[in-house]
Amino acid sequence: MKSFFRNAFKVSMTSLFVTIGMTILLFGLLQLSGVENRLLYNMIKVYIAIALPVLTLCPIVGFIYSFYIKGKRKILLILLHLAAACTISVFAFAAFMFRYFVSFAP
């Protein structure tokens, strides 16, 4: 584990893949929100409760580790992590606004 965190490129790439994978899975599970299965509803609720903090921290950790990479990949990874963090922030803000403040939300 020590050698994993010493290699900034591995940490940055793993963070990016985890962020993309969890986001895709989150969007896929949100498509199942109309299903009337109570077990599935609870599983989605638990996944969201686990995924949102991870999706908040993972791009930030990858973004910080991207500054320690040498070479041309540094700029690309910094931009990808920044885009992931901004996209997730916008979706979280929109979901929060529609959930709690907009009267015509579903």
pLDDT tens column, 17-65: 999 998 888 888 877 767 788 888 788 878 888 888 888 889 999 999 9
Q: Which pLDDT value is given to residue 78? A: 92
Is 106 a domain residue? no
pLDDT tops 70 at residue 102: no
Is 69 a domain residue? yes
How many structural domains are present in the chain? 1
Is 73 a domain residue? yes
Residue 30, both tokens: 């949100």
Q: Which pLDDT value is given to residue 39? A: 86
CA distances (Å), 71 to each of 5, 59, 74, 76, in order?
A: 18, 20, 6, 10
Q: How far apart are CA 73 and CA 99, in angstroms?
A: 39
User: Cα angle at 54 between 92 and 99, to 5 degrees?
Assistant: 25
Q: Which pLDDT value is given to residue 48? A: 80
Note whether 87 and 72 are within 8 A (CB).
no
Q: Whole domain around residue 90: which residue ranges? A: 2-100
The three-state secondary structure class of 6 is: helix
Is 83 a domain residue? yes
pLDDT band at 100 (very low <50, low <70, confident <90, very high): low
- Render pLDDT for 73-84 as a digit per residue (tens, 0 to 9): 899 999 999 998
